[in-house]
Amino acid sequence: MPLTEDTAPIAGIPEIRPSSYADQVYGHVLQDILKGAFPPGSKLPSESDLCDRFGVSRPVIRDALARLRLDGLVEARRGSGTYVLSAPSRSLPDLADLTDISRFLRYQELRLCVEGNAAALAAERRTEKALGDILEAHEQFSSQIARGLFLPESDRRFHLSIAEATGNEFFSMALEGPDVSLSGFMNISLSLTRSGSPARARKVIGEHADIVDAIRNKDPVWARVAMESHLLQARRRMMNGDLDP
């Protein structure tokens, strides 16, 4: 089967695991930003120049730039071009393939919708056993971080225990599949937390505690807000280099 624009690697760039052209362009522009080739405030090359550089069509470039804008990294200025707004965590290239970052952030958008609703339903429906599972997962995660252990599986267990507390198996199924998993994002997120200050680790634990308290108190509104805030902060810790230690 011939390769298509959505699955083929960019000409002249080492082949990576299957990903879209737009994700590859996103990753390489992100790499240039992190290396300082395009620092905050600088102007990116024109769409035409980026097309020539990567050997792709203008729609692919526009898709990649649109994702960079949505992720708060660049902004388009009418009649002037696209400018860099900010750089993500400097540790990011050591933790993940940069061509995967756009995909991770799209997955985080899904999590925001799914897990916010799951937390609200868990607050309404949780049984004492389900609450016990959430508390146990939270205590294990907190205890491990206190000992300097940042294990994605513990974070995953915490989030899945909340999804399971809804009594609706489709919430858990929406978060885990052949192409996506909680562990992948959490491995990056927790690695950034580990490399940060102790205050950052305490903040993550505090965010989890807020979710637990809302579910314990059967407050669906606060449970949704606490979960969505936690997920947005996790994304911010990944994409805002100013939060680096």
CATH number assigned to the domain comprising residue 65:
1.10.10.10
Are both 144 and 212 inside the same structural domain?
Answer: yes
More confident: 175 or 15: 175
Token match 């899904």: residue?
110
Are both 79 and 96 inside the same structural domain?
Answer: no
pLDDT in tens, 167-186: 999 999 999 876 667 877 77
Residue 61 to residues 25, 54, 106, 146: CA-CA distances in angstroms?
Answer: 7, 9, 17, 44
- Please report whether residue 122 resides in a domain: yes
**Residue 182 lies in domain:** 92-243
More confident: 43 or 103: 43
Are both 110 and 199 inside the same structural domain?
Answer: yes
Contacts 24+ apart (CB under 8 A), 153-158: 153/183, 155/182, 155/186, 155/189, 155/190, 156/182, 156/183, 156/186, 158/134, 158/208
d(CA 133, CA 167): 13
Are both 130 and 233 inside the same structural domain?
Answer: yes
More confident: 164 or 183: 164
What average pLDDT does the chain have?
86
- Please report whether residue 224 resides in a domain: yes
Are both 193 and 177 inside the same structural domain?
Answer: yes
Read off the CATH number of the domain in which 144 is found: 1.20.120.530
Ramachandran angles phi, psi of 55, nearest 5°: 65, 35
Are both 64 and 104 inside the same structural domain?
Answer: no
Are both 109 and 162 inside the same structural domain?
Answer: yes
6, pLDDT greater than 60: no
Are both 59 and 124 inside the same structural domain?
Answer: no
pLDDT in tens, 228-244: 999 999 888 888 766 54
- Please report whether residue 14 resides in a domain: no
The number of folded domains in the chain is 2
Count Cβ atoms below 10 Å from residue 192 Cβ, excluding itself: 23
CB 136 within 8 A of CB 143: no
148 pLDDT band, cuts 50/70/90, is confident
- Please report whether residue 10 resides in a domain: no
Are both 117 and 233 inside the same structural domain?
Answer: yes
Choosing from 44, 63, 84, the residue where a domain stops is: 84
pLDDT in tens, 101-117: 888 888 889 999 999 99
- Please report whether residue 13 resides in a domain: no
Choosing from 49, 68, 84, the residue where a domain stops is: 84
14, pLDDT greater than 50: no
Are both 114 and 72 inside the same structural domain?
Answer: no
Beta bridge partner(s), residue 81: 77
Are both 210 and 235 inside the same structural domain?
Answer: yes
d(CA 92, CA 189): 10
152 pLDDT band, cuts 50/70/90, is confident
CB 183 within 8 A of CB 152: yes
Give pLDDT, residue 11: 43
Are both 101 and 78 inside the same structural domain?
Answer: no
212, pLDDT greater than 80: yes
Token match 């994002």: residue?
185
Choosing from 52, 84, 116, the residue where a domain stops is: 84
The whole-model pTM stands at 0.79
